Structure 1
Amino acid sequence: MEPSEAERRVVVGVDGSPSSYEALRWAARYARLVDGTVEAIHAWDTPSAVGWSGPAIDPEFDLEQARERFSQELRSVFPDEQPVRLREHLVEGDPSEVLIRASQGAELLVVGSRGRGGFARAMLGSVSQRCAQHAACPVVVVRQEHDRAH
């Protein structure tokens, strides 16, 4: 077997928004079908690094907050048990750049249609658009259930 076929990676961006939860569920279902691995990626930025006003915050504190938020997100999407082949990656940086990098060698990149402002810095609307344009693999944009009603 070729090394590239050894593992079917399904990369998914998680930012705490309902549509990113939907994307994570979709990615887990797809990975099960193709016997692949889900790589859940939560990108975070240090507020001082992006020029926000206010006192500088300790980057270690930011990392702890990001880590705690990420584990809460995974627990809320998979309350009973997480998929066996789920890897968690907490990466500092701009969400779209982090996801585009992670798409190298992946079978699919899955993102939600709308993100969360504030903490994740960029709205996922712009992140999903940038990923669709620049990712190294096909991109699936998953809409939240109530998005479809409008």
Structure 2
Amino acid sequence: MQPPEPVPRVAVGVDGSPSSYAALRWAARYAQLVDGFVEAIHAWDTPSAVGWSGPAIDPDFDLEQARERFTEELRTVFPDERPAGLQEHLVEGDPSEVLIRASEGADLLVVGRRGRGGFARAMLGSVSQRCAQHAACPVVVVRQDQGPAH
């Protein structure tokens, strides 16, 4: 008797940007087609951890803010019902590094073309570019939806 086939794991970065919403919708549709599941990943950084320029920030407050943003982002993309098997991961750290780590053992990593930062003329955002160069699995870069959400 052969062991069961592993269930495809589709990791996707969610940062609140329109292109990350498109990436999450794309990942959910793809996972459904391949009988897989989606790991929605929201990376957050404590602002005070980035540099010495700002006042000390409470990391617990930052975590709560990130959790609320992530919940709202998922509600925006899936207002009625979340896909079956959707896993949610809130991870502290640099988004590129978090997503590259998440790509290990994944069948596919899905990212938006540009996140919250970046210049309008840039073809790829820094996170999507780093993921495309360093991920341990194939990467799909999704552009922002042109029309209404499906």
Identical counterparts, % of pairs: 84
The whole-number CA distance in structure 2 between the counterparts of 1:22 and 1:96 is 18
Indicate the residue corresponding to 1:10 in structure 2: 10
Q: Which sections of structure 1, spanning at least 5 residues, go unmatched?
A: 119-123
Tell me the alpha carbon deviations over residues 29-77 of structure 1, each in whole angstroms, 9 at most, x when there is no partner. 0000000010000000000111162211100000000000000000000
1:94 is the counterpart of 2:94: yes
Give the superposed CA RMSD: 1.6
More helix by share: 1
Runs of 4+ in 1 over 2 A off after TM superposition: none
The whole-number CA distance in structure 2 between the counterparts of 1:35 and 1:7 is 7
Superposed counterparts of 1:1-150, under 5 Å: 5-51=5-51, 53-117=53-117, 125-146=125-146
The whole-number CA distance in structure 1 between the counterparts of 2:24 and 2:52 is 29
The whole-number CA distance in structure 2 between the counterparts of 1:22 and 1:145 is 6
CA gap of 1:85–1:101, structure 2 versus 1, over 3 A, is same
CA gap of 1:35–1:45, structure 2 versus 1, over 3 A, is same
Indicate the residue corresponding to 2:121 in structure 1: none
Matched position secondary structure for 1:6: coil
Q: Which sections of structure 2, spanning at least 5 residues, go unmatched?
A: 119-123
Q: Which amino acid aligns with 2:81?
A: E
The whole-number CA distance in structure 1 between the counterparts of 2:30 and 2:3 is 22
The whole-number CA distance in structure 2 between the counterparts of 1:69 and 1:14 is 10
The whole-number CA distance in structure 2 between the counterparts of 1:117 and 1:54 is 19
Alignment check: 8 A CA contact 2:20 2:112 kept? yes
Q: Which amino acid aligns with 2:17?
A: S
